[in-house]
Structure 1
């Protein structure tokens, strides 16, 4: 599967990263007028055109600098569409139609092409021309209003979960579109948005509101809105999470805390009873948890199967033994950073290991994409360089000198193999 990705920053690259990890050839189109994907320059860990931010979103992809606003650049793009399965973008919702990358714009080139747009607000509606970012959507769609302590200010999630979730939705949508295109011979548009994703993730609190007038609110110590107890508890030395999402877990918890009688107490006997008498129950439980250290509670609760866990730091999570057992930290080599370790993606399909390559340098795959995918001759490539298809030739890296001078000397494209990257992109699980 070959995907032409007109993408930048986070949400779009996150979705196509998973396609790349599944084995797709993702050709990342980078705008030469702005020196490529803005993610290359995100601080604090950025040097030149490399950043750790960019690396974690763009492993296993290829890069081509291409000016879609120029006729020559557009001609190259059209050739890539003919040779690809999908065009994937994360631009503002009104932009795909403006720059001509919707299915109606491209079907004459490739009737099976699938055009997946991931935007802030979608390709229709009153907000179609508004830029959309994770922070904005978390506020707009009620996420911040239900996050944090009841007496504190609204809070965002500690992670960019709207971006990440929308990337997943875009990848699933594109795969479904490709399946249908291969079955029917006809492509389509996939219209995915951060707005729709964030709204859908309101899920059961939204259903409770729509059908029963429930008013979602922030809960103390991150407690579950209806399952009690299921929340943070402060122990003698640290915070832990304890949950009773089934009645059997509540009964076991009463044994661990030394109050088996609470299992039959009419105030706490059922889910509904405990939710109704939340304040009374937590007033009994919270002082008990403060009497012993976290490790003692976690050992006792785990021994009887009560769901529980520590509140780890990010370094704790990355060094958890299960992280290593699942090969969730991958290692590769980078020409600037040397040996580099990054979190892996969660996709696991079949027995084959996921590829663990670094992200491409800007325009690193120029020769491969032009000769092997677009099937351009050296003479044609030199003409395109002179015409500005890839940006101002002197300012764009990755273009071999023979194309810049207009005096190609290599054999015809049919005999030119893909050039090896300057540093191998393959890596290993660690």
Structure 2
């Protein structure tokens, strides 16, 4: 058995953040039952361009492999009855909706405890279910601005800059997945469930980490740095070579000694014995002078030539790859970081694997479900409904307006 094969999650999830969190649980064996609203065509991620076909897209495939789908209108009395039966048969209810929506839909612990006292209600929202922004929609781009990330990113003097990836969404999904697992563990131990009130805002502020601590305790004012330089470790940034860019970092004094010795031998600098650069503090105080020398040195050779010397010396470094190069990197291949699923329209879909590794058994992967593809399994196998019961629910609008 895979680690989470005995965990069932009813998920009212959509787009990126929520599905990104639960896809890792699904890869670990958890049964993720996506409840999709038939009135809106289900998860909006199904329709994200440019690679979209009908009610499916490569965006949707990215976040929903190994899951199941049922179309269910939880706002209709008949649909609510089915949802409550799913709550009885599950360990957690997982959602990523606006902060005031869990109460409106009745998916908090106080709403569901009478149905299943051990249910864990994990809500990932933009701003949480409390506070002055609770009823505001929260999106990664907005949160990167609010939490100070965009002011920290980019070149000095340039405009506020967003990360190239939706890191608040993805980090929030992982935070929610951790909380859900902790909640399920506690519920199994104690027999009592709970709410897990997670938010993208909390995640984004929490990830300010040491710059926030420096500011709160020492009055530190973060500034943007040239060439993405580390705010305190010098050197640790990107450098331009003859044909591209590379990252070189000296997070320990031994790395600086190795780099200085190498550069003195290859680029003709005189760094190793220079007292201005002897320690972390010295290099930070004389950063302008040192970085100018390093930039001149690295510009004299190609990226490959530098890496051929830097890597054997054990100096932290790497090329600045584009996406294609990153996916084709020999280490990506060796670690099995691209997985494949078969799809009726897109053919073989290749996508990044989950980085979560538990044990050594290979992880099987199944394409993302078509909307309502698993209705038969959910209604008959999970809930034990017979055909008469399903027909009555259908007529009552449980699965959308009756034909």
Instruction: Pick the TM interval, shorter chain.
Output: over 0.9
Structure 2 counterpart SS, 1:4: strand
TM-score by length of 1: 0.90
Partner of 1:134: 140
In structure 2, the residue matched to 1:334 is: 343
2:220 corresponds to: 214
Q: How does 1:13-162 map to 2 (within 5 A)?
A: 13-162=19-168
Q: In the alignment, is the contact (CA less than 8 A) between 1:23 and 1:355 conserved in 2?
A: no
Task: Return the offset for 1:114.
Answer: 0.3
Give the deviation of 1:340 after TM superposition.
Answer: 1.5
Structure 2 residue aligned with 1:271: 280
Partner Cα separation in structure 2 for residue 263 and residue 124 of structure 1: 55
Q: Using the alignment, how far apart are the partners of 1:322 and 1:131 within structure 2?
A: 39
SS, match of residue 252 in structure 1: helix
| Bigger shift: residues 226-235 or 327-336 | 327-336
Cα deviation 1:64-104 (Å, max 9, x = unaligned): 00001100000000000000000000011111111110001
Q: Which moved more, 1:256-265 or 1:172-181?
A: 256-265
Contact 2:307–2:318 (8 Å) recurs in 1: yes
Partner of 2:185: 179
> Does residue 354 of structure 2 align to residue 348 of structure 1?
no
Residues 396 and 402 of structure 2 are in contact (CA less than 8 Å); yes or no, is this contact kept in structure 1? Answer: no
Separation in 2, partners of 1:232, 1:184 = 51
CA contact (8 A) 1:251 1:260 kept: no
Alignment match of 2:331 (pick from 318, 322, 327): 322
TM-score normalised by length of structure 2: 0.96
Q: Extract unaligned runs of 5+ from structure 1.
A: 395-430
Q: Is the 8 A contact 2:36 2:70 kept in 1?
A: yes
Q: Counterpart in 2 of 1:253?
A: 259
The answer for the alignment partner of 2:290 in structure 1 is 281
CA distance in 2, matches of 1:67, 1:264: 72
Give the corresponding residue for 1:365: 374
| Mapped contact 1:82–1:109 kept (Cα < 8 A) | yes
User: Considering only aligned residues, what root-mean-square deviation do their CA atoms show, in Å?
Assistant: 1.0
CA contact (8 A) 2:247 2:320 kept: yes
**Can you list the C-alpha shifts for 1:100-123, whole angstroms capped at 9, x where unaligned?**
100011011111100000000001
Cα distance between partner residues in 1 of 2:348 and 2:289: 54
> What SS does structure 1 have at the residue aligned with 2:275?
coil
Greater CA drift, 385-394 or 86-95: 385-394
User: Is there any run of 5+ residues in structure 2 with no aligned partner, and where?
Assistant: 1-6
- 2:238 corresponds, among 232, 236, 251, to 232
Matched, 1:374 2:383: yes
In 1, Cα distance between equivalents of 2:47 and 2:393: 28
Q: For 2:21 and 2:364, locate their aligned partners in 1 and report how far apart those are by CA, in whole Å.
A: 16
